[in-house]
């Protein structure tokens, strides 16, 4: 498969001046586009500055207390930022681990690509082409600028586009994913589109926060997270049902809740707190909210 095979949108360009920005499909999507256009939280930008990989997702894994050193140390906050960033990159590595065997000639699709950190990591690991979509022109510009700086703009490209209606050809993507971006869309519509673009035998992966049906209904903490990000968190049941409806058969379902708690406990001690930390910690601890990885085969 060549890099141009996947995209029917020949007019798309990585140059921001030439970027075609479609009108939002719904008023809600207009709100979300504005939200991410305006977003500039230090907890995201300062972490990205550590090594140039800019993420808008959370971290997993144990905190390396040795690397953090003494809280009284003048370099402590800088080390804390580096540690939070390391855990966020570990999260993206885990997602990439579940994409299956990917060749240099393959194309991957990042649905809701943000500033493009996961796309860069995917290209660096597999040497393949990665196409990202986001509602935010600012984020797409940022991701394309980073790709140019790294000299990988011929392989990594972001565009402003609704993930529910992409310009990608049917049945050509080797793998696709949502990294903390599926809570902005209807899951039946989302998985219908992934199912359309994926090759038969291709792999879909999501890492997401979802409410736990065992708790009963979305807890007050889940409602706080929804309000904070203007999103609509789905239940674990909805994910599995919508996948089954759309020829996506789960191969792995991993509860990452215990693995993400150390990230949140550490972040809550940082000067970069945003105020949402307690809602995540409380909802993970009371069992109303789960951090989940689901990897599914397109059959």
Ligand X SMILES: C[S@@+](CC[C@H](N)C(=O)[O-])C[C@H]1O[C@@H](n2cnc3c(N)ncnc32)[C@H](O)[C@@H]1O
Position 29 contacts ligand X (CB under 6 A): yes
Size of the site for ligand GPP (CB under 6 A): 14
- Contact between 134 and 110 under an 8 Å Cβ cutoff? The reply is no
- Smallest gap from Cβ 115 to ligand GPP, in A, equals 9
DSSP structure class, residue 18: G
- Smallest gap from Cβ 141 to ligand X, in A, equals 12
Interface residue with Mg ion among 44, 144, 206, 260 (CB under 5 A) is 44
CA–CA gap between residue 107 and residue 129 (Å, rounded): 5
Chain residue whose CB lies nearest ligand GPP: 209
Pick the stretch among 112-120, 196-204, 260-268, 279-287 that binds ligand X (CB under 6 A): 112-120
The SS3 call for residue 268 is: coil
Pick the stretch among 2-10, 110-118, 195-203, 278-286 that binds ligand X (CB under 6 A): 110-118
Instruction: Quickly count: other Cβ atoms within 10 Å of residue 106's Cβ.
Output: 22
By DSSP bridging, strand 198-211 and strand 289-298 are antiparallel
Instruction: Output the CA–CA distances (angstroms, integers) from residue 299 to 128, 198, 199, 209, 211, in the order listed.
Output: 22, 10, 9, 25, 27
Query: 172, 124, 179, 181: which is closest to 151 by C-alpha?
Result: 124
CA–CA gap between residue 181 and residue 11 (Å, rounded): 26
Residue 202 partner contact from ligand GPP, Mg ion, ligand X, none using kind-dependent CB cut-offs of 5 to 8 Å: none
CA angle, 234 then 240 then 246, to 5°: 110
Interface residue with ligand X among 14, 89, 136, 290 (CB under 6 A) is 136
Provide the token pair at 172.
């050509």
Position 43 contacts ligand GPP (CB under 6 A): yes
Site string for ligand GPP, 216-235 (x = CB under 6 A): ---------x---x-x-x--
Position 218 contacts ligand X (CB under 6 A): no
**Which residues sit at the interface with Mg ion, rule CB under 5 A?**
44
**Which residues sit at the interface with ligand GPP, rule CB under 6 A?**
41, 43-44, 56-57, 180, 183, 209, 225, 229, 231, 233, 274, 276
């Amino acid at each position: 498969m060549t890099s141009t095979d996947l995209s029917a949108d020949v007019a798309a360009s990585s140059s921001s001046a030439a970027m075609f920005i479609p009108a939002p499909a719904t008023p809600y999507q207009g709100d979300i586009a504005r939200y991410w256009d305006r977003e500039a939280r230090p907890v995201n930008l300062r972490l990205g500055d550590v090594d140039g990989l800019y993420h808008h997702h959370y971290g997993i894994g144990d905190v390396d207390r040795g690397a953090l050193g003494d809280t009284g140390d003048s370099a402590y906050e800088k080390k804390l930022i580096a540690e939070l960033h390391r855990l966020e990159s570990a999260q993206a590595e885990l997602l990439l681990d579940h994409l299956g065997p990917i060749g240099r000639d393959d194309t991957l699709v990042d649905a809701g690509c943000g500033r493009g950190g996961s796309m860069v990591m995917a290209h660096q690991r597999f040497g393949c082409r990665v196409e990202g979509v986001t509602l935010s022109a600012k984020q797409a510009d940022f991701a394309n600028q980073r790709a140019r700086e790294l000299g990988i703009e011929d392989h990594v490209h972001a565009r402003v586009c609704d993930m529910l209606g992409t310009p990608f050809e049917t049945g050509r993507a080797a793998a696709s994913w949502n990294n903390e971006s599926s809570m902005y869309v209807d899951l039946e519509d989302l998985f219908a589109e992934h199912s359309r673009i994926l090759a038969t035998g291709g792999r879909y992966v999501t890492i997401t926060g979802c409410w736990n049906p065992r708790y009963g209904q979305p807890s007050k903490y889940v409602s706080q997270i929804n309000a904070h990000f203007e999103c609509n968190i789905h239940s674990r049941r909805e994910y599995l049902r919508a996948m089954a409806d759309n020829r996506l058969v789960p191969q792995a379902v991993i509860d990452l809740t215990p693995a993400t708690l150390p990230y949140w406990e550490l972040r809550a001690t940082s000067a970069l707190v945003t105020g949402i930390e307690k809602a995540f910690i409380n909802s993970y601890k009371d069992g109303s909210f789960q951090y989940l990885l689901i990897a599914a085969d397109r059959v």
